[in-house]
Structure 1
Amino acid sequence: MPLTLTDKVSALSGVGPKREQALQDLGIFTIDDLLSYYPYRYDDLGERLPSETLDGEKVTFKGVISTPAVVRRYGKRSQTAIGLLVDRENVRVTFFNQPWIAKNLEVGQEVAVYGTYNAAKAALTAIKLVPASIDGLAPIYPVSKAIKAKTIAELVEQAWGQLRGSLPNLVPTALREKYRLLDKNQQVEYSHFPKDKVESKAGRRSAAFEEFFLFQMRLQLIKQADQRFLGEALNYDKKQVADFIQSLPFQLTGAQQRVVDEILADQAAPQHMNRLLQGDVGSGKTVVAAIAMYAAVTAGAQGAIMAPTEILAQQHAKGLAKLFESAGIHLRVELLTSGLKAAQRRQILEDLESGDIDIVVGTHALVQDGVYFHHLGVAVIDEQHRFGVKQRAKLREGGVNPDILAMTATPIPRTLAITAYGEMEVSIIDELPAGRKPIITSQLSNRQYDQAIDLLRAELAKGAQAYVVTPLIEESETLDVQNVTAVYQELQEALPDYTVGLLHGRLPKEDKDVLMAGFANNDVQVLVATTVIEVGVDVPNASIMLILDADRFGLAQLHQLRGRVGRGDRQSYTVLLADPKTDYGKERLAALVQTTDGFELAQRDLELRGSGDILGTKQSGMPDFKVGDPVKDLTMLTIAQEEALKLVRQPDWEQEVDNQALVDKLSTTMAAYRHFD
């Protein structure tokens, strides 16, 4: 039978169970996967003369071996050297740690050697021997220990030999013509078997667009499905909501008002809301969430807010209760966490199901079995990337499909908003409340620790409070970092006139609660802590933060930590103590000193680190693109999103003949999409 794209890779000659498993570990299950497994770079095997080669360039020299192979050993290491006569010029060629190669090298033999050229020494550090007949670009594939790049290349060649010219186009003809993209068969051929760099670039460009386009099509179908999955039009009381906003002890910023309008419009619509609220640290996202939940309550429904930590959940519960109370609004706000006593938890669950509770605040306990709402109108998820898709879906179960408002204080650059959150509507609070003073950030070396303590002592003398943050809880033999316990003991001696507290993740919950209450009430003036304070701790009187070994933290994490100060009227400071060893470490801290704009920092971090782990591994939803780079190829990614949106908005686009291969490729997503009808 002829080979097809849907056949398993085991259909190819030379692929037994062991090799098939090795391919599957790389994500290659079918022939389609194999042909879409593009090289990540190419070795230029086209031969050149030494006179045509720049210093440090990778090159292939073809010539005649002029001196016998000499093997020198240095313990477990070795080097094998020969002389190679290349067009009357003798080049010294050295193979490292390949002593067996000497048997294949004889004087007078013509060979082609690929390696890195040192022009000053007329020497080539050899990478490999290549067949003398090869001329052009050799594809290099991402591999594992279980399979070689050469094996993948051979399998690709075998599959392509049977399917050449028969691959269907996934990108519609109009788009290929509009953006000068190759058809699928040229794309695959130019990617795997390019004759030159022009062909390889054209192949990669077309493959990257196809990858982005397919991803965006899936997102748009999910988005359409979500919109068709009817929610509930909340007929909220506009006057009561307006009165609540008017009663707030501060005026909403223009950005807050714009976002509130967007959310209220969603809540009043019959379609299910799936909105992401982005706002920098201290921008006032919580009051926006409070307005959304209050609107739901005025419509006879309930509100819920889910936070990633108990500390933040407790803070939300207290803050919301105080906010409504000061506005003269009598709502029942309850806290549901795993730390509750059995009887207390049972009562809250009963009251939640009966409708006696208006707003519930909790952690993951909100999405555990046995939690039922009387009528959940809106679910707010704080620090949304810390929750998985299943947990968000759990909130939608139980008959009514509540509106979802996901919030994050981790500023997400446009690149990631397009990819990780492409199926959500996005609202941005890009304005800080009036009167907020920018936090002054500085960097000192570890040798200036005493100077940093003097700055801290000066702030304490003004009646302010302070954070001191360290990366580790206990001493580590492998990392040269301060540990929280040692710093705590040291500061107790250095600051005898002040109370110093110690907070870390291993403390019992009761001790944490007592300590945080003491810090909030100014009974504790200095809080020595690990990153447990990263999210949500709100003490307006805290005006200075020292971050020890700051180069051990990520840029987004440092920005989150810095956001714990500057929450009151005082001028606030963050001091970064570090001696970064790498350029990346130096640039990261320099960026933090230069700006307090979280979105600017997030974009900078993305440029410095790449897209891999900007939001934190699995929870980010960030796809693992194999060809396209969402940072470098942002324009292409944006165009792919726009074109996918245009296509799915066309009536009966799935019926167009030109789109059939695309529809087949998206069949799994389409099936889920139709299921929602």
Structure 2
Amino acid sequence: MSEMATVAELQERLRRPLAAELAGGCHDRVVAGGVEKLLSTPLAGPFPKVREVLSGYAGLDESARAVALREALTLLGSTGKTTRRAAAPAPTKMAPPQAAPGERLPLDAPAERLNTGPGGARKLSTLGLHTLRDVLHAYPHRHEDRRALPDLADVEEGQKVTVMGTVVSKFRRAPRPGMLILEIVLETPSGGRVKATWFNQPWVEKQLREGARLVLTGRAKKFGRQTQLSVEHMETVDKAEGSLSTRRIVGVYDAKEGISQEFLRKAAYKALEAAPLDDYLPAHWRRKYGLTDLGDALWGIHFPRDEAQLARAHGRLRFDEYLFLELRMLLQGEDAVLQGKRFEARGEDINKFEAALPFRFTNAQRRVLLEITDDMRSDQQMARLVQGDVGSGKTAVAACALYLAVRDGYQGALMAPTEILARQHYANLCGYLGQLDVRVGLLIGAMTPKAKLEMQTRIAEGDVDVVVGTQALIQENVQFDNLGLAVVDEEHRFGVQQRRRLLASRPDVLVMSATPIPRSLALTAYGDLELSIIDELPPGRTPIETKLIQDTARQQAYGFVMGQIRQGRQAYVVTALIEENENLELLAATQLADDLKTILPEARIDLLHGKMSAAEKDYVMERFRAHEFDILVSTTVIEVGVDVPNSTVMVIENAERFGLAQLHQLRGRVGRGSLQSYCVMIAGETSLKTRKRLKIIEGSTDGFVIAEADLKLRGPGEIRGTRQSGIPDLRLADLANDADIIEQARELAKHILANDPRLEHPRLQYLRSELQNRSSSVAYREVI
């Protein structure tokens, strides 16, 4: 048998299991030990490119495996002729043809069509980049200015620098078993020399040959006149890639091991060359908001000519992220912004309601009430979020809106997330509305079947004007006679489908939240709702005194708590967990309660923990409100909104483990009555950074100021349950500072949908297509 025949035979023996692996769904089970085991045998020896394409196969997801297999099978199909004895090739899905030079590709073209070299499509797939659009929008996470690399004489000790040069010598040392030190001397274009070091990174050695041109980034150390670099990042520079990696502002991308920055720059460059960069925003909108065109922005984010183009690119692409987010949110809420009820909302009725109150509205309450009544008078269905700090008077404003609905012959509903909160709202609304001849009812799960049926009958017959309840209000056997206004408290506690069942008869909708979040965050998290903020507290409230102490002063803190208890007051003690674990939570709560019983033998102490059912938690809170015990120990966040006016002290153990907004919410559980109240934060960690963060709470009682500080310190996190609501990752957005841009994007989104609710105009087809392709939600795509 000739040598060529032997290679062809090996080729066919390798091709068959790979084709079977592809046909079988890429589960890495066709060959014993997996595809990588197959590649380590002599069978794959003559095919180094196939081994390269399939390297790391076991660690890929199934889509990336399929891409790699198709590429490998293409290589095997062109290696040589099969022998006569070889079986006929199994049908395989061939890789799409690569783009010819200068050829334009559609944005949804597979990334395989970009000519990125052997294994290129597989590398892009491992990063989740499957189409041309994916590559275009995989922006660099930072940029380095390599137009003028630093003179080594000016580099300071510890400074992070990037240098470029040629390897003039190389050293390899193994001082002891298990340690490898690689060193090179790099000569920069100016003639300076820097020693670069790698510890235990043998895989970089093959790139450190003498004469290689490298770009290195790392921390500098100075030894007299000599500079040494502890290398954090390395790139090779050859003639083909040099213009993308040096002498310019260079993007640095998110990557994985084995995928170089040069490769990602090359892929981005080829994508930009092949992409049709037609703009989905018409020129008059770009002029109005001061935005550059899409082509300038995409070239500018990947390969900026200067700082000005990079700034233009950031501005445009951030705007686009928010625009598509707002369009998406508004379209998701499409069934909540159509024809609604139209109320008269007369001024004399507002005055009559306020006259019956034991207090006067604040200016902030009046402003928000004006925004609500403007919505109520409109034909469109109201969908408005009212935000306000603890004690700002949201419930009174909602009660006034419910009164206006009743005066116009409609029913109202207020839905709360828990039964204890529902009962509290019921008591408050009876106080506000009872003297105005408004019939208020309560419907919760704990009622007897007979009482529940009686209330359901009264609701259906219109014998109740305002109903307060929990999820019981959206059960199928609850029928309203004429529901006009629905108020939802702490909306984030409900699922989207739950809320929509309440809205089926198209009432106006008012959402209340006592969790202050920055305006920028509210506009993105609640993009389908208009926003009103009550940012003023009623006069005469006694501010809560807040004190930050170290855990060494814990004894004095609990001595103060005991002093309050002897005066007939009550206290909360809350502790944080290191990790979410119900068993540990129960253990931590029990241990803390036992410790306090030893420290404070006179005090009556009870426990609230995560293993309790909702009914058990409600029972404990009711007993606490009834003053059946003095101290409530909890490792769960105590229900937002639950009032225990006699509780005057909040002690927060391990305060450093909470976010600022959480601490503020916990502090708001006291000070619910006229008594002077206190919050004591006990910190177990004493770092300067921690103290500085906690001092923000100690020095401010404004929830919105605290929320802004929390956003800047911790980032947006998972807002409104982002996975549930479908909010995508914002790659360039800076929610702590982008409120103005979000306002503009929201304004444009509302303008677009007001004129064309389903984006059907021919001029908006490209925008519609881009919106659909940016959405990861199949259900959402069906909306438009």
Q: Calculate the TM-score normalised by the size of structure 1.
A: 0.86
Cα distance in 2 for partners of 1:391, 1:344 equals 23
Residues 358-367 or 467-476, more deviating: 467-476
Q: Is the 8 A contact 1:222 1:423 kept in 2?
A: yes
Q: Is the 8 A contact 1:475 1:483 kept in 2?
A: no
- Secondary structure of 2:559's match? helix
Q: Please list the CA deviations of residues 481-514 of structure 1 after superposition, one character each: whole Å capped at 9, or x if unmatched.
A: 9922122222233333332222223234554344
Q: Is the 8 A contact 2:301 2:310 kept in 1?
A: yes
The alpha-carbon distance between structure 1 residues 212 and 472, as it changes in their structure 2 partners (threshold 3 A), is: closer
Match of residue 333, structure 1, among 428, 441, 447:
441
Match of residue 70, structure 1, among 172, 177, 182:
172
Q: Is the 8 A contact 1:379 1:405 kept in 2?
A: yes
Q: Is the 8 A contact 1:83 1:92 kept in 2?
A: yes
Q: Please list the CA deviations of residues 343-382 of structure 1 after superposition, one character each: whole Å capped at 9, or x if unmatched.
A: 5545544443343443333333433444433322111111
Partner of 1:250: 359
Q: Is the 8 A contact 1:69 1:106 kept in 2?
A: no
Partner of 1:515: 620
Cα distance in 1 for partners of 2:346, 2:286 equals 51
Q: Is the 8 A contact 2:650 2:678 kept in 1?
A: yes
Match of residue 672, structure 2, among 555, 564, 567:
567
Partner of 2:140: 39
Partner of 1:128: 234
Match of residue 467, structure 1, among 561, 566, 572:
572
Cα distance in 1 for partners of 2:141, 2:596 equals 51
> How far does residue 459 in structure 1 lie from its aligned partner after superposition?
1.7
- Mapped pair 1:156 → 2:156: no
Q: Calculate the TM-score normalised by the size of structure 2.
A: 0.75
- Secondary structure of 2:649's match? strand
Q: Is the 8 A contact 1:72 1:78 kept in 2?
A: yes
> How far does residue 281 in structure 1 lie from its aligned partner after superposition?
0.5
- Mapped pair 1:192 → 2:302: yes
The alpha-carbon distance between structure 1 residues 380 and 656, as it changes in their structure 2 partners (threshold 3 A), is: closer
The alpha-carbon distance between structure 1 residues 449 and 581, as it changes in their structure 2 partners (threshold 3 A), is: closer
Residues 464-473 or 303-312, more deviating: 464-473
Cα distance in 1 for partners of 2:438, 2:334 equals 38
Cα distance in 2 for partners of 1:358, 1:300 equals 9
Question: Superposed, which structure 2 residues align to 1:426-465 within 5 Å?
Answer: 426-465=531-570
Q: Please list the CA deviations of residues 417-473 of structure 1 after superposition, one character each: whole Å capped at 9, or x if unmatched.
A: 332234322222222223211111010111111110111122222222211112249
The alpha-carbon distance between structure 1 residues 6 and 620, as it changes in their structure 2 partners (threshold 3 A), is: closer
Q: Please list the CA deviations of residues 233-280 of structure 1 after superposition, one character each: whole Å capped at 9, or x if unmatched.
A: 235687666444322233332322332343234334322010111110
Match of residue 84, structure 1, among 186, 209, 212:
186
The alpha-carbon distance between structure 1 residues 424 and 513, as it changes in their structure 2 partners (threshold 3 A), is: closer
Taking only the aligned residue pairs, the percentage that are identical comes to 37
Cα distance in 1 for partners of 2:207, 2:376 equals 75
Cα distance in 1 for partners of 2:323, 2:470 equals 36
Match of residue 537, structure 1, among 608, 624, 642:
642
Give the letter aligned to residue 268 of structure 2: V
> How far does residue 636 in structure 1 lie from its aligned partner after superposition?
3.4
- Secondary structure of 1:182's match? coil
The alpha-carbon distance between structure 1 residues 301 and 145, as it changes in their structure 2 partners (threshold 3 A), is: farther
- Secondary structure of 2:643's match? coil
Question: Superposed, which structure 2 residues align to 1:398-437 within 5 Å?
Answer: 400-437=505-542
Match of residue 502, structure 1, among 604, 607, 613:
607
- Mapped pair 1:631 → 2:736: yes
- Secondary structure of 2:174's match? strand
Q: Is the 8 A contact 1:187 1:203 kept in 2?
A: yes
Question: Superposed, which structure 2 residues align to 1:107-256 within 5 Å?
Answer: 107=210, 109-121=211-223, 122-126=227-231, 127-133=233-239, 134=242, 135=246, 136-143=248-255, 152-163=264-275, 166-177=276-287, 181-195=291-305, 197-216=307-326, 218=328, 226-227=336-337, 229-234=338-343, 242-256=351-365
Residues 660-669 or 555-564, more deviating: 660-669
Partner of 1:608: 713
Q: Please list the CA deviations of residues 117-143 of structure 1 after superposition, one character each: whole Å capped at 9, or x if unmatched.
A: 415131012221421442234433234
The alpha-carbon distance between structure 1 residues 217 and 58, as it changes in their structure 2 partners (threshold 3 A), is: same
> How far does residue 333 in structure 1 lie from its aligned partner after superposition?
1.1
Partner of 1:576: 681
What stretches of structure 1 of length at least 5 have no aligned partner? none
- Mapped pair 1:295 → 2:386: no
- Secondary structure of 1:454's match? helix
Partner of 1:591: 696
Partner of 1:272: 381
Give the letter aligned to residue 331 of structure 1: R
Cα distance in 1 for partners of 2:751, 2:581 equals 55
Q: Is the 8 A contact 2:411 2:464 kept in 1?
A: yes
Higher relative contact order (CA 8 A, sep 6+): 1
- Secondary structure of 1:444's match? strand
Residues 641-650 or 289-298, more deviating: 641-650
What stretches of structure 2 of length at least 5 have no aligned partner? 1-102
The Cα RMSD (Å) is: 4.1
Cα distance in 1 for partners of 2:200, 2:305 equals 31
> How far does residue 30 in structure 1 lie from its aligned partner after superposition?
3.7
The alpha-carbon distance between structure 1 residues 239 and 474, as it changes in their structure 2 partners (threshold 3 A), is: same
Give the letter aligned to residue 376 of structure 1: L
Q: Quick check: which has more Rg, 1 or 2?
A: 2
> How far does residue 606 in structure 1 lie from its aligned partner after superposition?
1.2
Q: Please list the CA deviations of residues 532-589 of structure 1 after superposition, one character each: whole Å capped at 9, or x if unmatched.
A: 4241220112111111111111211111111111111111110000133555533331
Length, aligned pairs only = 667
- Secondary structure of 1:533's match? coil
Q: Is the 8 A contact 1:336 1:348 kept in 2?
A: no
Residues 88-97 or 620-629, more deviating: 620-629
Q: Is the 8 A contact 2:342 2:378 kept in 1?
A: yes
Q: Is the 8 A contact 2:212 2:236 kept in 1?
A: no
Partner of 2:480: 373
Cα distance in 2 for partners of 1:83, 1:474 equals 47
Give the letter aligned to residue 96 of structure 1: F
Q: Is the 8 A contact 1:92 1:124 kept in 2?
A: yes
Q: Is the 8 A contact 1:606 1:614 kept in 2?
A: no
